Amino acid sequence: MVSKSDLLPGTLDLLILQTLKRAPLHGYGIAQSIKRVSDEALTVEEGSLYPGLQRLLLQGWVTAEWKMTETNRRARYYTLTAAGRKQLGLEISKFEQMMAAIGRVLADAEEAG
């Protein structure tokens, strides 16, 4: 089953990095952004998001910094690093290759043996 879940497994990092490409953002905002931009089709649960952000921090793909939000709250803002930007490029191209490959299987009419 293609994910009874809210996300296609294996795509979370990609989505987070892409979201941070535009501007630094806090966790809550990242989740909101992905939900909004995907027209509610993708929901990132907090239990997936925060562990995910920890992974990205460990990899050095983002940095984190506590700041105040526009709504006057403390929040941890994540910023894409140069390495993160590079990684995003890699992941996008891998993802596109996967999509193309799956597309070939789904489109297959099979001529050869």
Partner DNA sequence: TTTCTATCCATAGACAATCTATGGTTAAGC
Partner DNA sequence: GCTTAACCATAGATTGTCTATGGATAGAAA
DSSP code, position 77: E
Task: Indicate whether 71 belongs to the interface with a second copy (CB under 8 A).
Answer: no
Kindly identify the residues of this chain, within the stretch 42-101, that bind DNA according to CB under 7 A: 43-48, 50-55, 69, 71-77
Look at residue 65 and give the partner it binds from a second copy, DNA, none, a contact being a CB closer than 5 to 8 Å depending on partner kind: none
Which is closer to a second copy, CB of 15 or CB of 62? 15
Please, what is the end-to-end C-alpha distance for the chain in angstroms? 28
Give the CA dihedral 35, 80, 87, 51, nearest 10 degrees: -60
Task: Indicate whether 7 belongs to the interface with DNA (CB under 7 A).
Answer: yes
Residue 77's CB is within 10 A of a number of other CB atoms, namely 19
Q: How far is the CB of 49 from DNA (least distance, A)?
A: 8
